[in-house]
């Protein structure tokens, strides 16, 4: 049953700019505490750290969500590294595992071929990211209020010389008078990662930060509904990114409609949801396992140690992905619609798995903190910090690349001839349809062929780290 929504639209600002518990990886042994096994050589130090707010606890499944953000600690502590600016990044030491921190310039070069740059070498000055693109809006679902979100985005854009951003903050009041401030630097850093990297790839799209009253499923799903309704009312088309999740739970299917336009009767609107696949290695998570959205997995970027030119992508060992325990093929043999399951209306994985459970992820993007990114947040860490990753980088980034492609797909294919709507995951249909092609797939996607998240070793075609692969350009997105 849908709750009655109450929201406050706090600000719409045009930002003009041109110019506790930690989960460590034992790098020396090459073994992660979550049971995954990194396949590529890794630095002996520092370690990956999962900040409070991103720690996955079994008892939270279906009750409370966690962010999916990880950082690389340079001093061995559980605190992120503060830097005066990204210009300090080259001082972090030599490349010992052929990985280096990435920038809007290098990531835009790899994934969009914009800007064009020989070798896609990271530039830590005002490198300018991808050319302006995108339209409509990208909504980001967050837990709690980030009071400096607007100014953080402006500072980030100014440093990198990115185009103007239009920013909207929506404060939920369904279970609070106003969302409390984000309570730890995990969720606060999540705000920065989501808004800054959604804007990088689709700078013409309005960035909407929807702030839930808490990280409970009740509050996050209320924010999800507000995001869909706000995009429909003001932009007609867009994406909703969810960089949070929990372990799966038996009643999760009853929430599936909250991530689809048909769940709100928005039959004529092109809105698609995305969700991070998780940072705990092999295993499905929710809402990532929802068949109506795009599940975002993680890759690792490898560079040439001598010149830092891009060499390849591999599976990030922390990437979530796996076989859903609860989203099975629709029971029975009848044609009736049931949105809780996979079925004829969500059959994009049928050529791979047949009449079987939902498998995640669908699509992949850089998520390894060893090839991570710098963030700016006054609330989270008082300025610039490095180096951040997790599939929280993948969800908003892929949402922005799909936005930039402007195919305007949805979970309801509206037939104007007879006025009917066919419920389907059109974005996943498009992504998966290219797997069997002889030319489109190799042009539009990169298939990592090294590394593992503990499910299987990455190889040609679909895998449990990046799904159909990582993007190359906007065609087929």
- CA–chain centroid gap for 80, Å, is 20
Omega before residue 421 within 30° of 0, cis: no
pLDDT band at 9 (very low <50, low <70, confident <90, very high): low
Give, as one character, the DSSP assignment of residue 118.
G
pLDDT in tens, 418-457: 888 899 999 999 999 999 999 999 999 999 989 999 998 7
pLDDT in tens, 70-101: 998 877 777 888 899 999 988 877 777 799 99
* Residues 25 and 71 sit within 8 Å (Cβ to Cβ): no
* Residues 447 and 460 sit within 8 Å (Cβ to Cβ): yes
What pLDDT was estimated at residue 314? 96
pLDDT in tens, 183-227: 777 899 999 999 999 999 999 999 999 999 999 999 999 999 999
Length of the chain: 477
Q: Name all domains of the chain by residue range, CATH numbers in brackets.
A: 20-471 (3.40.50.200)
When mean pLDDT is compared across 177-181, 184-188, 293-297, 453-457, the lowest value belongs to 184-188
* Residues 164 and 156 sit within 8 Å (Cβ to Cβ): no
Q: How many Cβ atoms from other residues are within 10 Å of residue 18's Cβ?
A: 11
Model pTM? Answer: 0.91
* Residues 264 and 278 sit within 8 Å (Cβ to Cβ): no
Question: CB within 8 A of 192, min separation 6: which ones?
Answer: 146, 149, 152, 156, 375, 376, 377, 380
């Amino acid at each position: 049953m849908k709750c009655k929504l109450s929201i406050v639209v706090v600000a719409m600002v045009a930002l003009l700019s041109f110019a506790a518990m930690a989960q460590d990886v034992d790098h020396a042994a090459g073994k992660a505490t979550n049971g995954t096994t990194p396949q590529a050589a890794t630095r002996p130090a520092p370690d990956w750290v999962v900040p409070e707010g991103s720690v996955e606890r079994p008892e939270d499944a279906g009750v409370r969500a966690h962010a999916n953000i990880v950082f690389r600690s340079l001093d061995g502590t559980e605190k992120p590294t503060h830097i005066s600016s990204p210009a300090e990044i080259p001082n972090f030491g030599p490349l010992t595992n052929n990985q280096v921190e990435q920038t809007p310039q290098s990531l835009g070069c790899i994934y969009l071929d914009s800007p064009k740059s020989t070798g896609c070498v990271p530039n830590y000055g005002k490198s300018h990211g991808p050319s302006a693109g995108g339209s409509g809006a990208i909504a980001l679902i967050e837990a709690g209020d980030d009071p400096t979100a607007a100014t953080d985005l402006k500072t980030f854009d100014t440093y990198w010389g990115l185009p103007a951003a239009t920013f909207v903050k929506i404060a939920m009041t369904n279970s609070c008078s106003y969302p409390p401030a984000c309570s730890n630097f995990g969720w606060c850093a999540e705000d920065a990662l989501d808004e800054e990297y959604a804007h990088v790839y689709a700078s013409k799209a309005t960035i909407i930060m929807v702030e839930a009253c808490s990280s409970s499923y009740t509050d996050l799903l209320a924010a999800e509904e507000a995001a869909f309704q706000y995009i429909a009312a003001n932009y007609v088309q867009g994406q909703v990114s969810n960089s949070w999740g929990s372990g799966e739970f038996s009643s999760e299917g009853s929430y599936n409609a909250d991530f689809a336009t048909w769940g709100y009767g928005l039959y004529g609107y092109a809105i698609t949801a995305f969700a991070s696949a998780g940072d705990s290695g092999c295993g499905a998570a929710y809402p990532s396992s929802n068949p109506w959205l795009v599940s975002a997995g993680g890759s690792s970027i490898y560079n040439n140690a001598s010149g830092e030119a891009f060499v390849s992508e591999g599976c990030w060992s922390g990437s979530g992905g796996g076989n859903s325990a609860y989203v099975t093929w629709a029971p029975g043999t009848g044609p009736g619609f049931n949105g809780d399951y996979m079925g004829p209306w969500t059959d994009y994985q049928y050529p791979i798995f047949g009449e079987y459970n939902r498998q995640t992820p669908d699509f992949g993007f850089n998520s390894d903190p060893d090839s991570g990114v710098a963030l700016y947040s006054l609330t989270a860490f008082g300025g610039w910090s490095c180096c951040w990753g997790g599939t929280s980088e993948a969800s908003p980034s892929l949402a922005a690349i799909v936005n930039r492609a402007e195919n305007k797909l949805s979970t309801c294919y509206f037939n104007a001839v007879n006025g009917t709507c066919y419920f389907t995951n059109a974005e996943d249909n498009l992504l998966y349809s290219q797997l069997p092609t002889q030319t489109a797939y190799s042009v539009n996607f990169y298939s990592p062929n090294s590394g593992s998240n503990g499910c299987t070793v990455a190889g040609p075609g679909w895998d449990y780290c990046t799904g159909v692969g990582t993007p190359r350009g906007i065609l087929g997105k």
